[in-house]
Structure 1
Amino acid sequence: CFFVSLLNLPWHLPSSNLVFPPAFLLPKIINHFHVLRFCSFTGKQKYQVSRYHFKKRAYFYPKSVSHFLEMGSAIKHFMELVEQAGTVFEVANTIRGLIENHWEFPKGIDQNVNNLKRKRDQLNGQKEDIESRIKSELRPRKKVKKEVDLWIENVKRINGEIPNLESKVRGSSFFSRGFLVKNVRKKEEEVEELLEKGRFSDDLVVNDLSWIGQVLPTPSLVVETVKRKKNEIMQHFRNDEVQKIGVYGMPGVGKTSAVTLVNNELLKGEIEFKIIVWVTVGRKCSVIELQNKIAKAMNVSISEDEDETLRAGMLSEILSEKGRFVLILDDVWERFSFEKVGIPESSKGKLVLTSRSLDVCRRMDCQVVKMEPLSNEDAWTLFSDKVGQNLMTSADLLPIAKSIVERCAGLPLVIVIVASSMRGEDNLPIWRNALAELNRKISEYYRC
């Protein structure tokens, strides 16, 4: 009865006032006590053991010093057990918290996955529509809005995540599925958010301020001969081994017209270049003047310092930072050093120049393209278009007109000038005077 009652009492040691349940270490401790007393809280009155005093404090006194040391060892062992038990309880509480925060009853999770897949398919349909709109809106000097790009990237990302989540759900046990319920719900909310954000009402593209280039007016003297030369130049653009292209030919033969067509073709974006710069050089153009013209065409400024080398370094750095570039130099009369001007010779850039001189093109190490005069057929077609087809039905004017075209020597510029001056004119003497004046000017040209 004494020992059974003892199991229901808290123990207290006078020296430490420690309380511990006796069920663990009772056999080890009880033998080391000589006197067992149950006292009231005042410490004066003694009681016998009874169930009435189970809530009283029990004070134990050791029989000897050795017993006291053994009792201390037993208490230490017990405290270690208590500490271990506390650790177990902490782990248990942590596990319980994880389950409470992350586990849900997985009823209907298969249906949730099916709903998620259905909304994903709807999102992909929306993505296809957005991409079609981008194709229709994207033009030279335009770029896709950043928010649209990010939206498309998020759709691609979620398309990769949903199959992985579905695979986890299908392959998990009932208990494991409980941890995936919130993941499925969260992914479904994310898809719904993307569906809402994907309702773009405004344009999907904006102006690309970093892009440089200008569409030029289409030349009025474009005929098949000029178009063929344009195509030949474009083939060199597609060849990565060609960095410099030189177009040469006599004045008025159509060099500038062909290169203008090239400029406009490049702006369509078939071959990707970040900037396309057009500069008219002219007969007398110093290095500093050329540097200024190139910088102005790119809307940048370089140092006004007269040191050409410093200016060349700045210009070269600007062109290199722009990425892939095209520099078109029209009407070059003399050879110049790319290094002195500041034009980087690298795989990132393409240089096109037009010149009357084959020697200039060769000395600047260009891939040469020769502009040939128009064929008789092209020359007559161009003249008829400019003067007016109705005039060419006159039997009296037709022989004179053919003589004028012949004297133009296949030069598009001369043909256009003469035909434009005679447009709508049906007076035969005026046509004869025009032919005579043309012959006189040609004779003067050759005498010079």
Structure 2
Amino acid sequence: MIPTSQIFEQVGYVINLESNRDDLMEEDQNLKALCEDTERAGREASRRRQKLTSQAENWLDKARAIRAEIDSIKLQFERRPTFCNGCFPNLRSDYALGKRAFEKLDRVRRFINERRGMELVAMSSVMERDVEDLMEEAKTLKAQCDDMESEGREASRRRMRLTNQAQTWLGRARTNLTEIENIKSEFDRSQASNNEFFSDTLAKRVVEKLESVRQDLNSRSGIQLLAMSSPPRVMKMDVPTVGQSSAQRTMEKIWNFLHDEHTSVICIYGMGGIGKTTLMKAINNKLEATREFDHVIWVTVSKQLNLQKIQKDIMDGLRLGSNENASYQDRSTQLREYLSNKRYMLILDDLWNPIHLSEIGIPTNKETRSKIAITTRIANMSALQVCSDIKAEKIRVETLTEDEAWDLFAANVGKEVVSEPHIKDVAKEVARECGGLPLAIVVVAKVMEGQNKKELWQDTLRALRASAPEIEGMEPEVFLRLKLSYDDLRDEKVKMCFLYCSLFPEDDEIPVISLIDFWIMEGFIDNVNNLVDASNKGHQIIEKLKRRCLLEEAIIIDEYVRVKMHDVIRDLALYIASSSCDEGPKFLVNANVGLNEPPREETWREFERISLMMNEITELPIRPECPKLVSLFLSGNPITAVPRSFFELMPALQVLDLSDTNITSLSVSSSSLLNLRALILSSCLRLTEVSFLGQLKELQFLDISASGIRSLPKEMQNLVKLKWLDMSEISDSLTIPSNVMSGLSSLEALHMLGTNVNWAKGSELAVENDLTLSEVGKLKRLTILTITIKEFDCVENDVFLQQFPKLKKFKVVIGPGSSNAVSMFDCMKEVRINGGNNYSRGVKVMVAHTEGLELFNADVKDVSQLVGVANGLRMLTIDGCQEMEYILDWCDVGENALQNIEVLRLHHLPSLQKLFKGEVPQRCLRKLNKICVFECRYLESLFSSEMVQNLDQLQTLSLRSCFLLEEIIEGHDKSLPENPLRQLRKLKLVRLYELEISQRREMQRGKLIHSSRNVCNGQIKSLKCQMKNQMKIEEFEELDEEFD
């Protein structure tokens, strides 16, 4: 029996037929309006290069289908069958039509509801375009950062430095680049998940960061890059704000003593990490605003007092050059004479031992009203007489009060974290456990930064309270609190990388490249495919340790980036790695402490790593028992011989560093050094006999650079596990027997730069004392190659040349008398050619894969034959080519030449008459941003008016000693393009006696106008002022003195 409700429902289809039809037609109009709105939104989005979301498009397709079905129902209504000419309805037909209308009405209403609140326009297309723009701007920003850092390294060799403004810009730019990487990662994750909707927050971050990067790029033009070469009166230092009341009171005491005419020496003392150095840095910076002292000199001392180093640091700070052969006494006299009529302040940071400054050359006469300030951990000043005849005023630096400690902790951990009610109480307990020690407070706060889970805070509090002091005195309390930062590293390999830094001497500035190489040798860096990837991972670890305040970036004094350890942090590492701490490996470190003999044999037994580097040790123990010893560092000692039985009881030894010693040979028994992975013998100038190398079957890393080795033993071909071989800078001819090189089947990195090897020519077989480059070409795993090849014919070797497309990094120096000086380029792939003229196929193959090309003293009129094949060339230097008339003829090279060139340097080209011959193709030189021209004496004009149109990225132009140069842009009467050189930011014009820059037109931003005749000094001064004000040039050389 059919239920009553169902009967009523079916009857209702007939009774409500007309009303359902009217409702359906009304909803159809509503649906039509929504469709039109959606289509209109799609057209508007398309106009803005956007699109509808896939959800909106699917809805629209379904809506059109539904409306088609409604039209079908409407047609059925119009043709509805009846009986007796419409007098009676056809109930069967009306029932079917009524049911269909009712169901369609219900579906339409639900479908309309789906449309409400639907996101119509996808942001993906805009976001993608913005992200692409952001990444392009980031590339430009990174290039400028790299250029600035390169300029800084170069300037440091001239005793100049980056200005504080430049360093601030560089830091901000590097921060922006890091944040851009994070944004790109988040964007990529969204795309990988097929999510075409991007959060408003991410979109806003992209737009804001794009604007920030463009501001950085624009602001770069207004930054003075280098400071004056004369010594600064005060070298300003980076220092956190000293806001605590107790610290302010201590600063006030120090400041008052500085103005007390009866006080000459001030001693600031307190425990390690208490903030002594920070206070004195603040004082140092405060003195910059006054004119009280002619010089403020900062010197960092160390536990092992080295008077000669202190003397050198003082003289370097004052820019006082002296003869390298001058004696200690001669330098003392020079320093005393210079300071005798100066009012100076000398700050000696971290002094541990008595010091008589008069021996160094520091005058102590009170007439100059000079001051000496020292920081030390030694409270008993009776044991520390800075100057025997001068009394020192003592100021103790106290720990922070509880309130001050909390303020410092909250400022570093983030007030938004500690303000949460469930966190604040336990966070205060954590801050209290730091004992008021600023360094501990900052380090622990950095560990907890951003943590908002109460359980993590409670665990941190438990860890702090559980570490009971094990050593009497103040230092263990510092270690046990600072150790939290070490524990938080988690990764055991990263922890070892940190501890490893303590093997180097105190206050040592460690080259990052060397440090990472040691980490790789030790096996701390794993899960990588090759040595290039391992090096990249090493740089990531360096940055991680720096972020955790466990490493500091040192001042760059040469081409190498360096890091150092804060002395308290180094003490922490030694504490962890010593017998005083149950955790970690056991280190014995006596590096650069003035040892004349090694520690007693019985003390070696329990240690895993021993560092005795940079001492005065001449003899080693006969047979020390070291069953656990993994690494041994003896570098920098005047050791003349290693006992034959020395290694017999070192079965676990893996890394041995004997570099810069006086050994002449190294004789080992066949049972010794079976597990040795790395052997460093660099700068062993007297070392000639290395027949033992063939016995080291497990050896993976070998460094014999700058040694006295004349020949490699044939047995070296058995080192099938060797990955890294450095034979660079061996001055005498090095003999490598045939098949030795090709036998090193695992070799990934080969360094032979500056080493003279008798390479066989072409692909001919090597004679007894010659080596063919085919052996290098057979090294299938090679990814890094640096090599010097004296003769051009030797590179005509197909097996060798086939390696170049596979290399990730190479530097090749070709030609007789080739220079191996540090390149001005920052390239992964570089070729340097010395001499020659009609270059062979082999040379061109190498050049075809290079990013940087340097050509010295070549007998060529142009470089078309080389540049024509180097489509990836980014940097080009041409120096000393006497016959060169132009760089290249565009008719000889085609349209792909110099499309990627960024830097062009032309030096000492006496025959150069023009840069290029022929019309510059439209796509060439578009990326060129730096041109330096030096001593091109017959060059009369630099750019043609057509060529200028391609130089829309040129930012730096340096012209020196081009005595006949009359015009920068050629053509006195020719019309110039609008705003040529509009990106120019740095202009240097030096000793250009025929140059005048016409002022007949307005000098708009970046607009250099051609010239005619000489310029007098008055015109120069006017010109310089006009160019600085109107062209927005960042740097304009002081022409007045140069032209005089």
Q: Normalized against structure 1, the TM-score is what? A: 0.50
String of CA shifts for 1:239-270, please: whole Å, max 9, x gaps: 1111110100011111111111111111111x
For 2:421, the equivalent position in structure 1 comes to 395
Q: CA deviation at 1:377?
A: 1.1
Conserved? CA contact 2:234–2:287, under 8 Å:
no
The question of 1:357 aligning with 2:378 is answered: yes
Conserved? CA contact 1:221–1:413, under 8 Å:
no
For 1:343, the equivalent position in structure 2 comes to 362
* Cα gap change, 1:367 to 1:431, in 2 (>3 Å): same
> Residue type matched to 2:296 in 1?
I
For 1:227, the equivalent position in structure 2 comes to 248
* Cα gap change, 1:445 to 1:394, in 2 (>3 Å): farther
Q: CA deviation at 1:207?
A: 7.2
* Cα gap change, 1:394 to 1:218, in 2 (>3 Å): same
Structure 2 SS opposite 1:279: strand
* Cα gap change, 1:394 to 1:377, in 2 (>3 Å): same
Aligned match for 2:261, one of 237, 240, 257: 240
Q: CA deviation at 1:312?
A: 1.7
Structure 2 SS opposite 1:363: coil
Q: Distance in 1 between matches of 2:251 and 2:322?
A: 33
For 2:439, the equivalent position in structure 1 comes to 413
Q: Distance in 2 between matches of 1:229 and 1:300?
A: 33
For 1:384, the equivalent position in structure 2 comes to 410
String of CA shifts for 1:399-431, please: whole Å, max 9, x gaps: 321221111111111111111211111122221
Correspondences of 1:102-117 after superposition (within 5 Å): none
For 1:36, the equivalent position in structure 2 comes to none
* Cα gap change, 1:283 to 1:312, in 2 (>3 Å): same
Q: Distance in 2 between matches of 1:341 and 1:386?
A: 41
For 2:314, the equivalent position in structure 1 comes to 294
String of CA shifts for 1:175-209, please: whole Å, max 9, x gaps: xxxxxxxxxxxxxxxxxxxxxxxxxxxxxxx9794
For 1:153, the equivalent position in structure 2 comes to none
Equivalent pairs counted in the alignment come to: 242
Conserved? CA contact 1:308–1:340, under 8 Å:
no
Aligned match for 2:303, one of 259, 283, 297: 283
Structure 2 SS opposite 1:379: helix
Conserved? CA contact 1:213–1:267, under 8 Å:
yes
For 2:331, the equivalent position in structure 1 comes to 311
Conserved? CA contact 1:252–1:412, under 8 Å:
yes
* Cα gap change, 1:442 to 1:306, in 2 (>3 Å): farther
* Cα gap change, 1:360 to 1:294, in 2 (>3 Å): farther
Conserved? CA contact 1:221–1:382, under 8 Å:
no
* Cα gap change, 1:442 to 1:380, in 2 (>3 Å): farther
> Residue type matched to 2:351 in 1?
V
Conserved? CA contact 1:245–1:351, under 8 Å:
yes
For 1:404, the equivalent position in structure 2 comes to 430
- What residue ranges of structure 1 are gaps of 5+ in the alignment? 1-205
Aligned match for 2:282, one of 241, 261, 264: 261
Cα RMSD, aligned residues only: 2.5
Q: CA deviation at 1:307?
A: 3.8
Conserved? CA contact 2:305–2:353, under 8 Å:
no
Q: Distance in 2 between matches of 1:220 and 1:440?
A: 32
Structure 1 SS opposite 2:364: coil
For 1:424, the equivalent position in structure 2 comes to 450
Structure 2 SS opposite 1:352: strand
Structure 2 SS opposite 1:291: helix
Q: Distance in 2 between matches of 1:445 and 1:293?
A: 34
Q: Distance in 2 between matches of 1:353 and 1:317?
A: 23
The question of 1:331 aligning with 2:357 is answered: no
Q: Distance in 2 between matches of 1:237 and 1:399?
A: 42
Q: Normalized against structure 2, the TM-score is what? A: 0.22
Q: Which moved more, 1:233-242 or 1:384-393?
A: 384-393
String of CA shifts for 1:31-68, please: whole Å, max 9, x gaps: xxxxxxxxxxxxxxxxxxxxxxxxxxxxxxxxxxxxxx
Q: Distance in 2 between matches of 1:419 and 1:291?
A: 38
Conserved? CA contact 1:279–1:293, under 8 Å:
yes
* Cα gap change, 1:441 to 1:290, in 2 (>3 Å): farther
Q: Which moved more, 1:227-236 or 1:215-224?
A: 215-224
Q: Distance in 1 between matches of 2:339 and 2:323?
A: 15
Aligned match for 2:292, one of 260, 272, 276: 272
> Residue type matched to 1:434 in 2?
T
Conserved? CA contact 2:405–2:436, under 8 Å:
yes
Q: CA deviation at 1:436?
A: 2.7
Conserved? CA contact 1:302–1:315, under 8 Å:
no
Q: CA deviation at 1:320?
A: 2.0
Conserved? CA contact 1:287–1:308, under 8 Å:
no
Correspondences of 1:72-221 after superposition (within 5 Å): 209=230, 211-219=232-240
Q: CA deviation at 1:329?
A: 0.9
Q: CA deviation at 1:442?
A: 5.5
Q: Distance in 2 between matches of 1:434 and 1:253?
A: 22
Q: Distance in 1 between matches of 2:471 and 2:420?
A: 31
Q: CA deviation at 1:279?
A: 1.1
Structure 2 SS opposite 1:247: strand
Q: Please tell me whether Structure 1 or Structure 2 has the larger radius of gyration of its CA atoms.
A: 1
Conserved? CA contact 1:400–1:431, under 8 Å:
yes
> Residue type matched to 1:223 in 2?
Q
- What residue ranges of structure 2 are gaps of 5+ in the alignment? 1-226, 477-579, 581-1044
Structure 1's consecutive aligned runs of 4 or more residues displaced over 6 angstroms after TM superposition are none
Conserved? CA contact 1:221–1:416, under 8 Å:
no
* Cα gap change, 1:298 to 1:439, in 2 (>3 Å): farther
* Cα gap change, 1:285 to 1:334, in 2 (>3 Å): same
Conserved? CA contact 2:231–2:319, under 8 Å:
no
> Residue type matched to 1:261 in 2?
A
Structure 2 SS opposite 1:246: strand
Q: Distance in 2 between matches of 1:442 and 1:295?
A: 45
Q: Distance in 2 between matches of 1:227 and 1:391?
A: 27
For 1:171, the equivalent position in structure 2 comes to none
Q: Greater relative contact order (Cα 8 A, min sep 6): structure 1 or 2?
A: 1
The question of 1:438 aligning with 2:474 is answered: no
Q: Distance in 1 between matches of 2:335 and 2:276?
A: 27
* Cα gap change, 1:435 to 1:445, in 2 (>3 Å): farther
Structure 1 SS opposite 2:315: helix
For 1:373, the equivalent position in structure 2 comes to 399
Conserved? CA contact 1:331–1:356, under 8 Å:
yes
String of CA shifts for 1:308-335, please: whole Å, max 9, x gaps: 33322222122224x1111111111111
- Name the structure with the higher helix share: 1
Correspondences of 1:32-43 after superposition (within 5 Å): none
Q: Distance in 2 between matches of 1:221 and 1:443?
A: 29
